[in-house]
Amino acid sequence: MESAPGPDDGSQSQATESQDGTESPGACGPGPESTSLGSAPEGALQVDSEVHNPAGRDDEVQQRVARAMEVVRRRTNWAIAGGLLPIPGFDILAIAGVQLAMLRELSVHYGVPFQRNLAKSLTTTLLGSVLPYAVGAGLAGSIAKVMPVLGWGVGLAAVSALAGAATHATGLVFVQHFESGGTFLDFDPVATREFFRREFDAARNRGGSSSAGSA
């Protein structure tokens, strides 16, 4: 029996994980049947008006999206903090852990079974859509931390910005997917590639921070 994210990430729900990494969501989360906005045609996401501008939708949906975006903002800040870890390699592991915790928290919020192994694979695939910048900047920044003074500062800034941008973009992609009634099993990283790249670039230009107006 594995607990869903603890008090530090605001989730009190319990989830049971099977050997293949699948967790059953807590009872408090709304299931995809009750939240579906309709499947996107040809697997494409209906992105901007759904996630960035929920004001024209009913109160229940607005509140649900607002809570989900708060999860994304909080986890983005944690990822940025993870990028500040001074030990090369540990920073990248910490960032990956924050992203998985974010996806687990979102899955509980939307009543979607969490599949850890699949979530790892999907986040890796999404990050691959912004190669070579993401990997190059991330590794270079992490390695630069071992250099005295200037290299250390540059490394911290590079990894933190990358961590924040990647986590923010990943969160928005999955909020939209879960709002459309999707699960980890039917998530198509190819269909979300352009949206992910756009949100990644926008967040990177802000220094990795999550947009205050996203919800």
Residue 13 domain-assigned (yes or no) = no
3-state secondary structure 151-174: HHHHHHHHHHHHHHHHHHHHHHHH
User: Residue 2 phi/psi, 5° resolution?
Assistant: -115, 130
* 32 domain-assigned: no
Indicate whether 30 pLDDT > 90.
Answer: no
Domain residues for the domain of 164 are 44-205
Give residue 186's pLDDT band: very low, low, confident or very high (50, 70, 90).
very high
Q: What is the mean pLDDT of residues 2-23?
A: 48
Confidence of residue 55 (pLDDT cuts 50, 70, 90): low
Tell me if residue 64 falls in helix, strand or coil. Answer: helix
More confident residue, 54 or 214: 54
CA distance 126 to 67: 23
For residue 147 the two structure tokens come to 């250099």
What CA–CA distance (Å, rounded) separates 127 from 120?
A: 11
Residue 14 lies in a domain: no
Q: Is the pLDDT of residue 82 over 50?
A: yes
Q: Is 118 part of a structural domain of the chain?
A: yes
Which stretch, 3-7, 77-81, 82-86, 210-214, has highest mean pLDDT?
77-81
- Weakest mean pLDDT among 44-48, 70-74, 173-177, 185-189: 44-48
**Total of domains in the chain:** 1
Average pLDDT over all residues of the chain: 73
Give the chain's count of helices (H) and strands (E): 7, 4
In a domain, 54, yes or no: yes
In a domain, 73, yes or no: yes
Q: Is 6 exposed, middle or buried (0-12, 13-18, 19+ CB in 10 A)?
A: exposed
| 51 in a structural domain | yes
Tokens 């090369």 locate to 88
More confident residue, 71 or 3: 71
Report yes or no: 116 and 17 within 8 Å, Cβ to Cβ. Answer: yes
pLDDT for res 204: 82
Pairing of the two strands 114-115 and 22-24? antiparallel
pLDDT at 172: 97
* Confidence (pLDDT) at 25: 57
Q: What is the mean pLDDT of residues 149-153?
A: 49
Q: Is residue 127 part of a domain?
A: yes
